[in-house]
A and B are shown apart, each in its own frame.
Chain A
Amino acid sequence: DAGVTQSPTHLIKTRGQQVTLRCSPKSGHDTVSWYQQALGQGPQFIFQYYEEEERQRGNFPDRFSGHQFPNYSSELNVNALLLGDSALYLCASSYAGTQGYTFGSGTRLTVV
């Protein structure tokens, strides 16, 4: 049974560019959350998607946007990249109404 799959695993972008990260949730899960983890820090909540809608958003600027598709997979888009956006981006999936969150291995984004 495949867990949460994220792609790509690593990415290097130039300041000002745009990036799209992808996530396939664990089989049977319908809710996807995205987190940003800076080096030496705990993950910070970006937003959560359920039924193709953004259900909740953390304290991140509008440059961060997302989408959930009918098959429950999700994308995270970041526009106008800043050096400070360099981090590990984690996707977590769950089944609505339960508390079991499964994390992927993340996409490591480096902005130069």
Chain B
Amino acid sequence: QKEVEQDPGPLSVPEGAIVSLNCTYSNSAFQYFMWYRQYSRKGPELLMYTYSSGNKEDGRFTAQVDKSSKYISLFIRDSQPSDSATYLCAMKEGTQGGSEKLVFGKGMKLTVNP
């Protein structure tokens, strides 16, 4: 079983739709949860960052973490064509002396059609 699983899609939605992206994980030591956006031929750009469980909102983006279910989500409201990109979930252990590496999902390619 992979440490982080992400539906690779692709996903195509009309402009203005609500988009839901999800990841599951198996490592209970993960404490830091991130969503990155990656445009074609570019490096990943940090969108949202959450420590432990709960919700975090930033403009049209909401990140949710459910540690009991080992499940994280990213919601995009009022999606725009400029949101078309690959979205990667990433996680990191939080224990003192724990792993420093980010563990990524496979990435979900999103296309928002005008």
Which residues of A are interface residues toward B (Cβ below 8 A)?
A: 4, 33, 35, 40-45, 48, 55-56, 58, 90, 92, 99-106, 108
Q: Are A105 and B101 in contact (CB under 8 A)?
A: no
Contact code string B74-92 (vs A, CB < 8 Å = 1, else 0): 0000000000000010101
Which residues of B are interface residues toward A (Cβ below 8 A)?
A: 4, 6, 8, 32, 34, 36, 41-46, 49, 51, 88, 90, 92, 99-107
Considering only CB atoms, which chain B residue lies closest to A106 in the complex?
A: B43
Can you list 5 contacts pairing A with B, beta carbon distance less than 8 Å? A41-B107, A42-B6, A42-B105, A45-B101, A56-B101
Report Cα–Cα, A92/B45, bound state, in Å: 10
Considering only CB atoms, which chain B residue lies closest to A105 in the complex?
A: B43
Q: Are B100 and A42 in contact (CB under 8 A)?
A: no
Give 9 A-B pairs besides A43-B104, A55-B100, A90-B44 with Cβ atoms closer than 8 angstroms.
A33-B102, A35-B102, A42-B4, A42-B88, A42-B105, A103-B43, A104-B43, A105-B42, A106-B42
